[in-house]
């Protein structure tokens, strides 16, 4: 998930929102948030990085290289946020799960 979805996912986490706000445009364009939910174990994890290049604030995270640390998350909160994001994608008709479309481009 890209920058817009990361802001939604972390909307209750002031520290992460501050971090996201501190990113420059290149970092925002290439940010990648991965959320893994393990229903059998009732646990969730997330990691965040940059798809194209490691930066001062983001680890490299793509299909070939993933240097981003994994962070434990609240299972119930993660499920709730992912449901909200899924509903937004369905309602917007957007298939851009990477979140690269800016809000201004959506109709």
Distances (CA, A) of 98 to 41, 76, 78, 90: 26, 23, 18, 14
CA distance 18 to 65: 26
Give this prediction's pTM: 0.80
Per-residue model confidence as pLDDT tens digits over 33-51: 999 999 999 999 999 999 9
Mean pLDDT of the chain: 88
> How high is the pLDDT of residue 96?
54
> How high is the pLDDT of residue 56?
95
Count H helices and E strands in the chain, helices first: 4, 4
pLDDT at 107 over 60: no
Helices (H), the chain: 3-9, 14-22, 25-30, 75-92
């Amino acid at each position: 998930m890209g920058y817009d979805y990361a802001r939604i996912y972390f909307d209750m986490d002031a520290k992460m929102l501050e971090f996201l706000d501190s990113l420059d445009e290149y970092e925002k364009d290439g940010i990648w948030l991965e959320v893994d939910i393990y229903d059998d174990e009732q646990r969730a994890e997330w990691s965040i990085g940059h798809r194209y290049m490691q930066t001062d604030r983001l680890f490299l995270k793509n299909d070939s290289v993933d240097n981003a640390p994994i962070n434990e998350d609240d299972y119930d909160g993660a499920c709730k946020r992912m449901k909200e994001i899924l509903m937004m994608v369905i309602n917007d008709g957007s298939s851009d799960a990477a979140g690269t479309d800016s809000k201004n481009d959506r109709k």
